[in-house]
Amino acid sequence: MVVEVFHVEDAPLESDRTEGWSYVRAAGDVIRQRDGSWLLTSAEAVRFGHRHPEIFSSARAFDRLGSPVPLIPIASDPPDHRRYRKVLDPMLAPRVINALEDDLRAQVRSLIAAFADRGSCDAVADLGRLYPTQVFLTLFGLPLDHRDQFIEWSETIIEASSPSSDGMSAETVETALALFTYLQECVARKREDPGEDMLGRVLSLEGDDAFSDDEVLGLCFLFILAGLDTVTAMIGFTLLHLAERPALRRQLRDDPSLIVPVIEEVLRLEQPAAMTPRVTTRDVEVLGHLIPEGSHVFLCLGTANRDAEKFPVPDDIDPAQADNGHWAFGGGIHRCLGSHLARRELRLVVEEFLAAIPDFELEFGPRPTVVWPSGTLHLETLPLVFPAGGRT
């Protein structure tokens, strides 16, 4: 039965994602919201949406993010999407990330060392906000000393693009223009001397593969609007779960091979980009519900990732089910372009944090809550305490 008065913003996600996503899932496989948009919540419905990009279009689905150029490749459909992914996927393949690992590990180790002797930190402010931006600047061959300015620009724009935002203020428009101008100058400069970084390789493409300046800028904006705050959020969620589970921390220290499956489980439970937008290109029936052409549809990954038929332990961390697969990075042709990089960042954070600070816990006080409603589920703060110097 269609629930006409439902709206996902009513879900109690702030303190408990299990309770929140159970609330959404209980409303049905396919839900029509009071604003006229639709939610696909079951694993079967989400899988159907991913398998039919010709019906569930991405090209018109990301206008609310406010990018001055089309976001490449996420806001595109075939055949353009295939052209973009053909050249971009190899640039973010595991072998490419492997070549960056020593540098990225040194960066996260340095960030952790800055607070390890204090005996306390805000893991979001002191690590989560900083590291993903440094990784982006490294990947694109941009100066690391621009980090703080870049964070200020990107956070202002991301906040304004949230569904709960009142829109683009004059200050936000000015910020977006400043970032856009900065990126234009970087692209112009690197066209003269591309270098071996990802931005340089994109600018060196020739013939049918070549990107226009707008396409290059759209790729940059995609990383900024969809690839920084999501990793920031996952660093916070991962360290939150480890802070609350001393036995799990000991397991990871004793058997580092468990780090990757535990990260996969936290991704499944806490994926920041929990609802993927689409627009229907024609009338379509999904599990008995007719969704009209031109409808805004959200593939609800947050509920699909807790499907009890797919995951024997749907609402808790169980490394044994990490190989079952999940939708934290989306699915189908639009599976996240930077998934290999994001996974590597998270692994390096956990490895280096546990090496420097093996025992830590939440600072006494209320449990950190998630910002909701928000375009990206995230913790605003994560205060941790530990023995000064990290080790007991």
Looking up residue 149, the CATH number of its domain turns out to be 1.10.630.10
pLDDT for 237 equals 98
Give the whole-angstrom CA distance, residue 82 versus residue 131: 30
Position 330 in a domain = yes
pLDDT tens readout for residues 228-286: 999 999 999 999 999 999 999 999 999 999 999 999 999 999 999 999 999 999 999 99
Share of the chain above pLDDT 70, in %: 95
Amino acid at 110: S
Q: What is the mean pLDDT of the chain?
A: 92
- Would you say residue 353 has pLDDT above 60? yes
Sheet strands side by side (includes 38-40): 30-32, 38-40, 296-300, 275-280, 56-57
In this structure, of 48-62, 130-144, 218-232, 276-290, the range with the lowest mean pLDDT score is 218-232
Name the band, by pLDDT with cuts 50, 70 and 90, for residue 375: confident
Position 93 in a domain = yes
Position 215 in a domain = yes
- What angle in degrees, to the nearest 10, is found between the helix axes of 131-139 and 229-243? 140
Position 198 in a domain = yes
Question: 254, 107 in Cβ contact below 8 A?
Answer: no
Name the band, by pLDDT with cuts 50, 70 and 90, for residue 391: low
Q: Work out the number of other CB atoms within 10 angstroms of the CB of residue 173.
A: 15
Q: What is the model's pTM?
A: 0.94
Position 392 in a domain = no
Position 95 in a domain = yes
pLDDT for 66 equals 59
In this structure, of 111-125, 209-223, 227-241, 329-343, the range with the lowest mean pLDDT score is 209-223
Specify the 3-state DSSP secondary structure of 39. Answer: strand
| Cβ partners under 8 Å of residue 321, min gap 6 | 265, 311, 312, 313
Between 226 and 304, where is the model more confident?
304
pLDDT for 346 equals 98
- Would you say residue 65 has pLDDT above 80? no
Q: In the numeric block, which tokens belong to residue 336?
A: 């996240």
Q: In the numeric block, which tokens belong to residue 303?
A: 């509920």
pLDDT for 226 equals 83
pLDDT for 3 equals 46
pLDDT for 291 equals 98
Percent helix, strand, coil in the chain, to 5, is 55, 10, 40
Residue 201's domain comprises 8-385
- Would you say residue 90 has pLDDT above 60? yes
pLDDT for 337 equals 94
- Would you say residue 164 has pLDDT above 90? no
Q: In the numeric block, which tokens belong to residue 149?
A: 């300015």
How far, in Å, are 41, 139, 269 from residue 71 at the CA level?
Answer: 25, 18, 27
Give the whole-angstrom CA distance, residue 283 versus residue 292: 4
Position 391 in a domain = no
Position 25 in a domain = yes
- Would you say residue 319 has pLDDT above 60? yes
Q: Work out the number of other CB atoms within 10 angstroms of the CB of residue 220.
A: 26
Question: 135, 346 in Cβ contact below 8 A?
Answer: no
| Cβ partners under 8 Å of residue 188, min gap 6 | none
Looking at the 3D structure of the chain, how many domains does it have?
Answer: 1
